[in-house]
Structure 1
């Protein structure tokens, strides 16, 4: 592939975050799976849920949309990075030994295969099944006279005014095509000159609904079909010979220089530059006329490996709008309302236990979305704002929602004379603009805002409340595995620890000083913090677990995370397995560890669980010699988390809470409804529901209800 002009501005990504750490012995590449291919296997598991007839119909449509959305981000970041590595002639960066070119070739084949299944799933299974239930997606030719009249009126009144046809060729500059936008390429003939020309019409789905509703609200026509049907109106006096839909994906990654003098300005500059990233994927409608496809390839400097032919609708991420069609409860998962954590409830009707009061009685653990984020984390902060004895509130923000009450609470705290500190990570990918808006609003209100450290992303999830109690102050701390985002807290499974432990409180205070000032702590009392002591702390836990393992008193390692990539940690787990330690891994996404290799990993089992909620908790649990060490926090086992981000893991020390954490992992490992087991050859085999049906997320919902009812002594409403 010839080198293409790069749109990067600042530092290169070729030495990015997932390279092998210096000094690592990874000479045997056969012991490691390719990271990118492992991610594709994860997205394939998502696709299998869309294909699964036992999943409610609209939930299948949701998984179809999630698959497409996941793949978009994968192209914008990971595939783009591989193309840049090829341009810079990087030969080998990954433990499995594959070159960027070899990885891209294998990925291209698998994405094409999965893409065909994805299209077939929607067009041949889901679309007809939706129609049978009364939710119809019509093509223009399927509409009756009344339907066509509705659509044509909508076109005249709402669609036509926002369309801008742009000519291609004839000495005109090739029009800019924005990332992930849908466009129609149109082949025209001028009857006066008898010449053929090409034009582009953007499908304005950002301004208008992708699916144009018909009367009744349960039937739709794709917006691009409405436009294609009316191309004659856009090009009067021209003959429309052909048209085809296409979509481009651009490189959307960027790296902010560690030498950036003003991080806010640097991120804003990179966001503007992102719009012009190289095109790394062109999706186009099956059967597109070469007279339309070839000019696009030439203008965008594309080669065959950038091309992806789609047999059905393009950009199926938009079918999430179909999922939101009102009604049809029988086609969805049963509704779920998170319960209030039992220790935050009161036996008296209408009464609640203040969060800090409950914390003074002992540490407590919350598990979202089974237990409510609103009545735990959000209430923790809002109560602190109103408490006259609270002196300071400090919080990290990585991803938050536009309607989050947590950030406005910091503004109210400042107005009440409290010290409010917010560490806003401006480099949180695809949330940069939201975080910049929040940061500027906070600063304007007088909140102390820190934008993070240029060379490190701050991914830790921590809240620190400093409260005056008599002549002393007490630290109230929350450390979690998920973002402070009320929307995702209803969709992601996450754990959070509330504690007044003095050592953990002092550690979190030191962590904020590290983020806001020039402090560089060399160690922490109880927290494992990246990039300071987390890697070595986890390795030491593995070593101790191996050292205390005996046949009479066996050790065990239970880990739950989103991704396992780091070769050093993988080697440590191989050492544990070789020593006879049982290693049980519950990994939602990427896993580069190869299990069941004789003499290396025969004692390692890897299970992936998916479902209605996105598994997001990170748990590290080590059982040895009659003791258990348990940590929860923000970090996966990836080089970027351990070496290039600020992450925090907190110990869970109360035996009752440890038992709760162990129970969560063991339920996930025992699942046989939506569970896959990783094989030694890299394939993931879906576990059949033999014997007793186990469905971890359903079990955890039922357990949450039982515990809440037992706490109050009355049934939930």
Structure 2
């Protein structure tokens, strides 16, 4: 007879032993990113891209997450995290876990990727490997283009240690006065205004298979290092070593004390440009202890904050090589498909909105009225759907008002241009621009001022909350009634990232959704404190309770002998209350599959805790960003999409919107998307109970299943794409 499980009441499902560290889980995510750079199945230049992403991710991790932990340690905070670690323990474990990854990254670049680049006609060489003609060219380039830009900064009693800007690459130089033998220390900043890699002209490049190489060049810092005599005439250059620092870059804005949030954030941005306290020092491994100690002392850092690097520093700059015209070394470019129902949308004549180029076509509002539309980016076109929705509304004489939220958008945003056109055409346009979108604050301030200048009503969000929901509401006069059209999505209104991030969006004119978004915008722009919504799950109002109720319903069904099933896709899972509920569901027999790209604090496959929970992460050419939530509900399936992850910040400290999918065919499409991802054996990694991940590999006689390629085929309308995909409603044993 099976041993009965302890009741949920007698078992503490919040015990730290059942939770992964958020920070270590993030490092595991970045390790999966790094693996794409190590994987020989990844095209060569794409491997450099993933190297750059790994480095860029780490920069942000230190600027935000590590910086916060260091502040907590300095403030003597001893509060335990979900996993029971103190801030100092987390910093120690980050250092212990990260160092092998940094070593692996740089060794792989120097010993594997750099030689492979040369084998394929891309020569990133060192200065000492150049011929006399090549050196002469670069030395002349240095005199003309580099020397006028750089400034050596001495460090001595009359010259204090200079301020070193965030993420800057620098040379620590030791020089000697030949008359006195006295040594001096100086710093030379590698200017960001110049390209990191200096290309030689084709006639001076290397030859590859008897032909000129595709590219030959050296790192900028080496051109500077081998011409240091010009910066220190009369001195003897003893040694030089490159180093790089990272600073705290999070903004500190007291919103409730700021008379003008925009001005307050602008002031904080000026501080960020200067940078906060140093949080990391990167140096070359051969740097002597004397220079290392000098840098750590002057930057007020400890040994634990210092990371040795073999070879080039700042590998985020490897993204440069993606600009080379070598398609054979890149992923096959994907051309987004125009959704079939939007292919016959007629184009309005901007000079006369009543005249259309395609007379037998329909306008986008007619198509939405016929039935809801789901779009899946980047497989389906963002421009022909979301941008079309806004631009059509801007020109349509029957559109009265446009309301939307902007969290992140691009520098040349067609969305913002359409909003400006709408205001100029006399529409009532209201836009909530979230000024606190991290690292996009400056861009958002620019657009906010631009929108205000043409009469758009701009709101900057709510005190204490970030507005993260992705919603558009268009109000249109139609015959004898007013109709509301909505777009509710999972991703930002950014036409550039829409080519790289996987996201979903729903177009609808259902009355309940229109009414809910009207209430939501009144909440965002006025003094409304709406406590209930007809269909939307809105954070921080009702979303947490609704999700917990949906999980509870699956638990009750399983306890009553019925099937229980949950499938959820998101970016991160951190919230302890949600995790504890999922543990309870697993213990009741609910079958749970989670597709979580990044951080996952839940530990699957723990005996008597999470044996019915499986977690995978998909890392591929596109960044998985969509959020989908499926609940079996005893056969009356419910599925949702929206902007929120299961994290405390999303559920409690942000304005988020999740919409139910009521169209049966769209619900089936979403289930097929989830099924394709669950069957992935090329891009998927399985989370183990100890917090590590194992990459799936096709078994013997089993075809490779790449979910992103399958979704491309699905977008193209290929038949039988998911013919071998098990329905996600099926309960696994």
Residue 504 in structure 1 maps to residue 501 in structure 2 = no
Shift of 1:345: 1.5
Q: Which residue of 1 aligns with 2:93?
A: 106
Shift of 1:552: 6.4
Q: Which residue of 2 aligns with 1:57?
A: 44
Q: Which residue of 2 aligns with 1:241?
A: 238
Aligned with 1:210 (options 172, 192, 196): 196
Distance 1:27 1:392 in 2: 47
Aligned with 1:337 (options 326, 330, 335): 335
Given the superposition, is the C-alpha separation of residues 645 and 47 from structure 1 closer, same or farther in structure 2, using an over 3 Å criterion? same
Residue 483 in structure 1 maps to residue 483 in structure 2 = no
Given the superposition, is the C-alpha separation of residues 45 and 153 from structure 1 closer, same or farther in structure 2, using an over 3 Å criterion? same
Shift of 1:258: 3.6
Deviations 1:539-587 (A, max 9, x none): 0111112222368641210100000000000011111111101010000
Q: Which residue of 2 aligns with 1:530?
A: 539
Query: What SS is found at the alignment partner of 2:657?
Result: strand
Q: Which residue of 2 aligns with 1:653?
A: 662
Residue 586 in structure 1 maps to residue 595 in structure 2 = yes
Task: Say if 2:559 and 2:588, in contact at 8 Å, map to a contact too.
Answer: no
Distance 2:471 2:88 in 1: 40
Q: Which residue of 1 aligns with 2:605?
A: 596
Task: Say if 1:344 and 1:352, in contact at 8 Å, map to a contact too.
Answer: no
Aligned with 2:56 (options 69, 74, 79): 69
Distance 1:120 1:231 in 2: 28
Aligned-residue RMSD, C-alpha: 1.8
Distance 1:704 1:354 in 2: 22
Aligned with 2:187 (options 189, 195, 200): 200
Task: Say if 1:631 and 1:650, in contact at 8 Å, map to a contact too.
Answer: yes
Shift of 1:153: 1.7
Q: Which residue of 2 aligns with 1:190?
A: 177
Q: Which residue of 2 aligns with 1:131?
A: 118
Task: Say if 1:394 and 1:420, in contact at 8 Å, map to a contact too.
Answer: yes
Distance 1:565 1:121 in 2: 32
Name which of structure 1's ranges 343-352 and 568-577 shifts more when overlaid on structure 2: 343-352
Deviations 1:582-617 (A, max 9, x none): 010000000000101121110000011110000000
Q: Which residue of 1 aligns with 2:143?
A: 156
Shift of 1:26: 6.1
Which runs of structure 2 are paired with 1:403-442 in the superposition (5 Å)?
A: 403-442=412-451
Shift of 1:709: 14
Shift of 1:154: 1.2
- Unpaired runs of 5+ residues, structure 1, are 1-23, 711-717
Q: Which residue of 2 aligns with 1:294?
A: 293
Residue 517 in structure 1 maps to residue 526 in structure 2 = yes
Aligned with 2:674 (options 642, 665, 680): 665
Q: Which residue of 1 aligns with 2:77?
A: 90
Distance 1:141 1:35 in 2: 44
Aligned with 1:644 (options 653, 675, 679): 653
Deviations 1:74-117 (A, max 9, x none): 00000001101111111124111101111111110111100001
Q: Which residue of 1 aligns with 2:344?
A: 346
Q: Which residue of 1 aligns with 2:127?
A: 140
Query: What SS is found at the alignment partner of 1:576?
Result: helix
Aligned with 1:451 (options 460, 463, 483): 460
Query: What SS is found at the alignment partner of 1:677?
Result: strand
Task: Say if 1:283 and 1:308, in contact at 8 Å, map to a contact too.
Answer: yes
Which runs of structure 2 are paired with 1:295-374 in the superposition (5 Å)?
A: 295-326=294-325, 328-346=326-344, 353-374=362-383
Q: Which residue of 2 aligns with 1:9?
A: none
Deviations 1:395-441 (A, max 9, x none): 11111000110011111111111011111000000001000011111
Shift of 1:27: 4.7
Distance 1:368 1:127 in 2: 34
TM-score by length of 1: 0.93
Task: Say if 2:13 and 2:583, in contact at 8 Å, map to a contact too.
Answer: no
Given the superposition, is the C-alpha separation of residues 450 and 628 from structure 1 closer, same or farther in structure 2, using an over 3 Å criterion? same
Distance 2:683 2:471 in 1: 31
Distance 1:26 1:192 in 2: 72
Given the superposition, is the C-alpha separation of residues 234 and 479 from structure 1 closer, same or farther in structure 2, using an over 3 Å criterion? same
Task: Say if 1:242 and 1:289, in contact at 8 Å, map to a contact too.
Answer: no
Given the superposition, is the C-alpha separation of residues 354 and 128 from structure 1 closer, same or farther in structure 2, using an over 3 Å criterion? farther
Deviations 1:684-703 (A, max 9, x none): 01111211211000000011
Deviations 1:465-506 (A, max 9, x none): 100112221110000000000010000000000010111111
Given the superposition, is the C-alpha separation of residues 295 and 347 from structure 1 closer, same or farther in structure 2, using an over 3 Å criterion? closer
Which runs of structure 2 are paired with 1:556-567 in the superposition (5 Å)?
A: 556-567=565-576
Task: Say if 1:59 and 1:331, in contact at 8 Å, map to a contact too.
Answer: yes
Task: Say if 1:341 and 1:708, in contact at 8 Å, map to a contact too.
Answer: no
Distance 2:345 2:17 in 1: 58
Distance 2:113 2:617 in 1: 25
Q: Which residue of 2 aligns with 1:697?
A: 708
Distance 1:438 1:347 in 2: 29
Distance 1:194 1:654 in 2: 82
Q: Which residue of 2 aligns with 1:6?
A: none
Name which of structure 1's ranges 252-261 and 478-487 shifts more when overlaid on structure 2: 252-261
Query: What SS is found at the alignment partner of 1:548?
Result: helix
Residue 546 in structure 1 maps to residue 555 in structure 2 = yes
Task: Say if 1:606 and 1:677, in contact at 8 Å, map to a contact too.
Answer: yes
Deviations 1:159-216 (A, max 9, x none): 1110010111232122111100001010000123321001111001x21100011113
Given the superposition, is the C-alpha separation of residues 273 and 171 from structure 1 closer, same or farther in structure 2, using an over 3 Å criterion? same
Aligned with 1:226 (options 203, 217, 223): 223
Q: Which residue of 2 aligns with 1:119?
A: 106
Given the superposition, is the C-alpha separation of residues 118 and 197 from structure 1 closer, same or farther in structure 2, using an over 3 Å criterion? same
Q: Which residue of 1 aligns with 2:165?
A: 178
Name which of structure 1's ranges 61-70 and 293-302 shifts more when overlaid on structure 2: 293-302
Distance 1:504 1:382 in 2: 21
Distance 2:196 2:680 in 1: 37
Distance 1:441 1:576 in 2: 50
Distance 2:599 2:422 in 1: 41
Query: What SS is found at the alignment partner of 2:507?
Result: strand
Given the superposition, is the C-alpha separation of residues 291 and 120 from structure 1 closer, same or farther in structure 2, using an over 3 Å criterion? same
Higher normalized contact order (CA 8 Å, seq sep 6+, divided by chain length) = 1
Distance 1:421 1:304 in 2: 51
Distance 2:392 2:479 in 1: 19
Deviations 1:651-704 (A, max 9, x none): 111111111111111111111101110111111011112112110000000111
Given the superposition, is the C-alpha separation of residues 112 and 668 from structure 1 closer, same or farther in structure 2, using an over 3 Å criterion? same
Q: Which residue of 2 aligns with 1:277?
A: 276
Distance 1:123 1:509 in 2: 56
TM-score by length of 2: 0.91
Distance 2:361 2:382 in 1: 15
Task: Say if 1:56 and 1:331, in contact at 8 Å, map to a contact too.
Answer: yes
Shift of 1:708: 11
Shift of 1:364: 0.7
Q: Which residue of 1 aligns with 2:642?
A: 633
Query: What SS is found at the alignment partner of 1:466?
Result: strand
